[in-house]
Amino acid sequence: MSEGSAVIVISSHVVRGSVGNRAAVFALETMGYPVWALPTVILPWHPGHGPSTRVVIAEEQFDQVIDDLIRAPWIGEVKAVLTGYFGHPSQPRAAGRLISALRARDPELFYACDPVMGDQAGLYVPEATAEAIRTELLPLATLATPNRFELAWLSGADLDSNAAVMEAAIALGPPKMLVTSALPMMAGGTGNLYLTGRHALLAEHRLIDNPPNGLGDLLAAVFLARLLSGMDEEKALQLATASVFEVLARTARRGGDELTLETDASSLSTPMAMVQMRHLMHPLRSGRR
């Protein structure tokens, strides 16, 4: 295996379905990246499909696995870390130890934090877990990928405009922020808003009602893969958004209740879907700050 090519993914694992690690690992491996996958919780299926057994990796054992990874003889293979859903408030702190250890070895380590904690209905993780993500992981993030509702909770702000979304993203701190469920400018659409010190970009596509779960997990992984390849950020955003929309549209057309990644792998590497790209006024250049 080549030096510095692997991605550690830390998130939930479902037996059936394409969410959490199941979505992220498939996407990253399809796009050419070896993956070290660490589950935070094991579920038979996504909770949205109904009650099921929930197996949370015990705190002591999770810490021990993290310690093992820190001293693994193959740690030089790791190029990036992606975190998603956590099953216990102690897990973000343990993940932060791993990221800090990796970054001490390689200051260029890329850390993508997908703060999976809620949606328009509110938090679906304990508040202590959400707080741990905010305090332990966001300060370490190269890239954060919250949805608009998660960003609102993290920032304590009402995000009723994309200008407010961008202000909150800047205040929160990560140098790169990809906000899903951004406010669209096209009728009947939805958008992904990407903000860095240089870019303020909005990628829009048609809204599809009642989508399967896992879109955020998939987008974070695909966008990370594009950035790790060295691709221009605007092109990376366009292609990652097109990939997720294309998989979603094809799944919806089949009537699937889970993303059909195994059937639509080509959509990850070579998407054909059209995405509307817009350059927004950057808040740091608008004269308001």
**67-118 per-position pLDDT tens digit:** 999 999 999 999 999 999 999 999 999 999 999 999 999 999 999 999 999 9
Q: What is the pLDDT of residues 151-167, one digit of tens each?
A: 999 999 989 999 999 99
In whole angstroms, give the CA distance from residue 118 to residue 130.
Answer: 9
**pLDDT at site 36:** 98
Q: Which residue has the higher pLDDT, 251 or 1?
A: 251
**pLDDT at site 229:** 97
Q: What is the pLDDT of residues 181-215, one digit of tens each?
A: 999 999 999 999 999 998 899 999 999 988 998 99
**Phi and psi at residue 48, in whole multiples of 5°?**
-65, -20
Task: Give bridge partners of residue 122 from the DSSP assignment.
Answer: 119
Per-domain residue ranges of the chain: 6-285
Contacts of 286 (CB under 8 A, 6+ apart): none
In whole angstroms, give the CA distance from residue 121 to residue 101.
Answer: 36
CA distance to 88, 98, 191, per residue, from 103 (Å): 24, 9, 32
Give the E-state strand segments of 52-101 in sequence order: 55-56, 78-83
In whole angstroms, give the CA distance from residue 209 to residue 200.
Answer: 27
**pLDDT at residue 287 greater than cutoff 70:** no
CA distance to 22, 143, 186, per residue, from 278 (Å): 31, 20, 11
Q: Give me the percent of the chain exceeding a pLDDT of 90.
A: 88
Mean pLDDT of 28-40: 98
In whole angstroms, give the CA distance from residue 28 to residue 218.
Answer: 9
**pLDDT at residue 12 greater than cutoff 90:** yes
CB 283 within 8 A of CB 237: no
**pLDDT at residue 52 greater than cutoff 90:** no
CB 144 within 8 A of CB 115: yes
Whose structure tokens read 């695909």? Answer: 222
CB 242 within 8 A of CB 275: yes
Q: Give me the percent of the chain exceeding a pLDDT of 70.
A: 97
Class of CATH domain 6-285: alpha beta
Mean pLDDT across the chain: 94
**Coil/strand/helix, residue 231:** coil
In whole angstroms, give the CA distance from residue 118 to residue 180.
Answer: 12
**pLDDT at site 11:** 98
In whole angstroms, give the CA distance from residue 85 to residue 41.
Answer: 8
